Amino acid sequence: MVVAGNAARLPHLANRLGQKLAIPIVPAKILERVEIGRVGLSESEMLDAQPVLPTAVGLGLWGET
């Protein structure tokens, strides 16, 4: 299971869910799957924002094939 959004920022959430559900749970890593252009953020700021990016990226790619 992949967790995203602000819930993915909660400490140990993925570990606790994984133990309760007996499945592997990992945070979303959207930056590994999309190419980004120039942004006004540092690399560390982009990594900090990564958990909340899947929705924005999904909406931005809506209808693209």
pLDDT in tens, 35-60: 777 778 888 888 888 888 888 888 88
Does some domain include residue 65? no
Contact predicate 54/4, CB 8 Å = yes
Compute CA distances 52 → 11, 15, 17, 21, whole Å: 15, 19, 19, 23
Confidence of residue 23 (pLDDT cuts 50, 70, 90): very high
Q: Which domain holds residue 34?
A: 2-60
Distance of alpha carbon 60 from alpha carbon 40, whole angstroms: 18
- Report the percentage of the chain scoring pLDDT > 90: 9
The number of folded domains in the chain is: 1
Does some domain include residue 20? yes
Does some domain include residue 41? yes
